[in-house]
């Protein structure tokens, strides 16, 4: 899951007894007609049938749940949540409805509510591999990868033949820098389902993190072959091309994906970084500023702009003061990205000749991410040690910069 995240909509079929004395006699027939329509892909017709069924039996938790599932398939998770909440209100022991509710909350990135719903599903049905998988997806969304891995382990133990479970665990393993293990999981996912573009994309990300860029590009190309609209693969291919120093080709890939997602601050930042590597300072600056325009709290864009001001060989763009100011902004906004932002700040300080402060700042990054090999290698390159006290850092770096705004 790049941090790419896809919600899988799974169908739960239920037997509704037409003899139920609380429902009209034709309720079951209409309900089953809706299920048949949904299974055949006639979603609009299915919605009409579920609406009719609910008019006849508004106390049917199963009908509310099925309509909620249909809304999920139609890409309307907020409406789905409304129906699924009604389903579990009518039947608090309805475990599958809690699972679908977790799906819906995941779809709107409300991971805490998703975890609550899925924990209820697991309590009611502790052998539900889907509930464990979906809760693991929620923990992935919160970047709580170790906890996610435990849920995926359980899902795989309960059902070892679902490719998605291996893919999702591989995503979590990527999040914990266990790239070799992640690749093993993606291999298993691909063996079970070689038609899923996301599996190849995610394995490519793991190869890229290992700096095996050619293997990564092969996976991204395969992903694009399977799904030419899978934008993450174009983006990731651009990153891998940059890793090989082919920044001009990287710009081409980033430009393709920007056409597909013109409002993504990440894409402009990454294309700008490729332009910076090509010494195309004006184009790089334009992209960084566009990224900030799209999201004024996007720390990596400020970090990238800082590096431009620090590294530029053109006096028109070189400005140590603006470099440091933007790097400080990036750190102030960094939150979960703090190690990367401190590293970026360190590189800026090094570029503008403040080497001792650069080393102290990089040591701070190392203390926040001790397993980050790139930070460790840079410390070695600068002749420093990660073991030195990071608290030698200037106190101002650890607090918000209220004067920046």
Q: Which CATH class is domain 1-142?
A: mainly alpha
pLDDT tens-digit map of 50-81: 999 999 999 999 999 999 999 999 999 999 99
210-239 confidence digits (pLDDT tens)? 999 999 999 999 999 999 999 999 999 999
Q: Of all helices (H) and strands (E), which one includes residue 217?
A: helix 213-226
**For every residue of 128-142, which 3-state class applies, written as one string?**
CHHHHHHHHHHHHHC
CB atoms within 10 A of CB 44: 9
Main-chain phi, psi angles of 43, to 5 degrees: -70, -35
CA distance 327 to 301: 10
CA-CA-CA-CA dihedral for 378, 382, 388, 389, to nearest 10:
-80
Segments making up each domain of the chain, as ranges: 1-142, 298-405
Q: Is the pLDDT of residue 102 over 80?
A: yes
pTM to 2 decimals?
0.82
User: Could you give the angle at which helices 338-351 and 299-311 cross, rounded to 10 degrees?
Assistant: 10
Return d(Cα 311, Cα 288) in angstroms, integer.
Answer: 15
Q: What is the pLDDT of residues 105-143, one digit of tens each?
A: 999 999 999 999 999 999 999 999 999 999 999 999 999
Interval 257-269 mean pLDDT: 96
């Amino acid at each position: 899951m790049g941090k790419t995240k896809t919600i899988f909509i799974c169908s739960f079929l239920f037997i509704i007894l037409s003899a139920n004395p609380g429902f009209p006699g034709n309720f079951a027939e209409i309900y089953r007609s809706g299920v048949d329509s949904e299974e055949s892909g006639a979603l609009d017709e299915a919605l009409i049938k579920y609406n009719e069924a609910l008019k006849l039996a508004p106390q049917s938790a199963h009908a509310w749940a099925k309509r909620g599932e249909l809304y999920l398939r139609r890409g309307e998770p907020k409406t789905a949540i409304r129906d699924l909440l009604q389903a579990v209100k009518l039947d608090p022991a309805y475990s599958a409805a809690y699972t679908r509710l977790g799906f819906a909350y995941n779809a709107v990135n409300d991971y805490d509510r998703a975890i609550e719903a899925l924990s209820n599903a697991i309590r009611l049905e502790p052998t539900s591999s889907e509930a464990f998988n979906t809760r693991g997806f929620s923990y992935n969304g919160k970047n709580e990868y170790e906890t996610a891995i435990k849920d995926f382990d359980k899902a795989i133990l309960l059902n070892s033949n679902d490719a998605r479970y291996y893919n999702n665990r591989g995503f979590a393993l990527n999040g914990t820098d266990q790239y070799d293990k992640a690749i093993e999981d993606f291999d298993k996912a691909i063996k079970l389902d070689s038609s899923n573009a996301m599996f190849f994309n995610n394995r490519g990300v793991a190869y890229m993190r290992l700096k095996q860029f050619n293997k990564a590009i092969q996976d991204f190309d395969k992903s694009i072959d399977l799904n030419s609209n899978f934008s993450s693969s174009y983006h990731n291919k651009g990153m891998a091309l940059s890793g090989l120093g082919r920044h001009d080709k990287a710009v081409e890939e980033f430009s393709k994906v920007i056409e597909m997602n013109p409002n993504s601050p990440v894409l402009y930042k990454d294309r700008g970084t490729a332009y910076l590597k090509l010494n195309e300072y004006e184009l790089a600056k334009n992209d960084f500023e566009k990224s900030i325009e799209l999201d004024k709290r996007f720390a990596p864009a400020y970090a990238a702009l800082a590096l431009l001001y620090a590294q530029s060989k053109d006096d028109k763009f070189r400005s140590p003061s603006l470099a440091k100011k933007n790097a400080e902004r990036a750190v102030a906004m960094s939150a979960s990205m703090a190690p990367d932002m401190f590293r970026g700040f360190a590189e800026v300080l090094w570029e503008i000749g403040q080497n001792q402060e650069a080393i102290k700042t990089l040591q701070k990054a190392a203390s926040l991410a001790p397993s980050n090999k790139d930070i460790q290698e840079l410390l070695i390159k600068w002749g420093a040690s990660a073991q030195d006290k990071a608290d030698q850092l200037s106190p101002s770096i650890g607090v918000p910069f209220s004067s920046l705004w």
